[in-house]
Structure 1
């Protein structure tokens, strides 16, 4: 099962927050990945990336050694961790998508996340999404700015091709 918790959180210490994620992942036997929702093109984007990552482990075509990293690679549309971390969290106020994969994901330990719809694509994300996914002005002229989420899904799908 794939669970997605979206909302806002203030992170004082990124490393401490990531340690908490690792601890909960291990205790609950689930995979957890947290991504910057301001750079995601909607719920379909993250679900597609998670499904592709899970499938890469099933077929033995994964690049990363764990599912959480593989999710980040697919979500970012790249096979390079150095580029994928652009979707990571940062110190301060964050709009996040916390993704959990497992049989039962009890995410009550993340009560500091204020639930808020931050995942869906909107005009305020345009510049950040275009930058992260290298979407050019020429592409936008050709298909229209309303197609940005579809262009992102195309980038996620192309990760399999560039292996």
Structure 2
């Protein structure tokens, strides 16, 4: 199984239509494609941890979602409920995006090529101060927590929230 990350920015004018095209592309290439709002991602370790935990839950039969992409979103969002996990998903308008593509190597590569043609490449995965407000809100990080550990620890606080998804079942 090959996992690829595609990052960039794009403009989505009609979310339902765009998600339909993503679904068709995933079917065509026999891969899973999960889109995430990159402005709510605190770096590669955050994504890697969510993917690893989601795959483990699918393997162990402890998954909540039937779809691996949605299960990844649950962990990445720090939310237990599937409905709440979509808070980290794609939205209409201009946005920074991260696509997670999962499939065999050849299929994943061809899906990545298809996705790359529809987005403007940009490095949007790493944590930066411009993401602070969205991430603090997404993960319910309190002012007291930030006072105690400092803003530079936000990525670590996010990893803690990802880990707690399992604990708070």
More helix by share: 2
Question: How many angstroms apart in 1 are the aligned matches of 2:24 and 2:51?
Answer: 21
Match of 2:146 among 140, 143, 157: 140
1:31-110 pair list within 5 angstroms: 31-104=32-105, 105=108, 106=110, 107-110=112-115
Q: TM-score, normalized by length of structure 1?
A: 0.96
- Structure 2: where are the runs of 5+ without partners? none
Is 1:123–2:124 an aligned residue pair? no
Structure 1 runs of 4+ with >2 Å offset:
none
- Structure 1: where are the runs of 5+ without partners? none
Question: How many angstroms apart in 2 are the aligned matches of 1:2 and 1:108?
Answer: 14
Query: Number of aligned pairs?
Result: 163
Q: TM-score, normalized by length of structure 2?
A: 0.93
SS in structure 2 at match of 1:5: strand
CA-atom RMSD, angstroms?
1.0
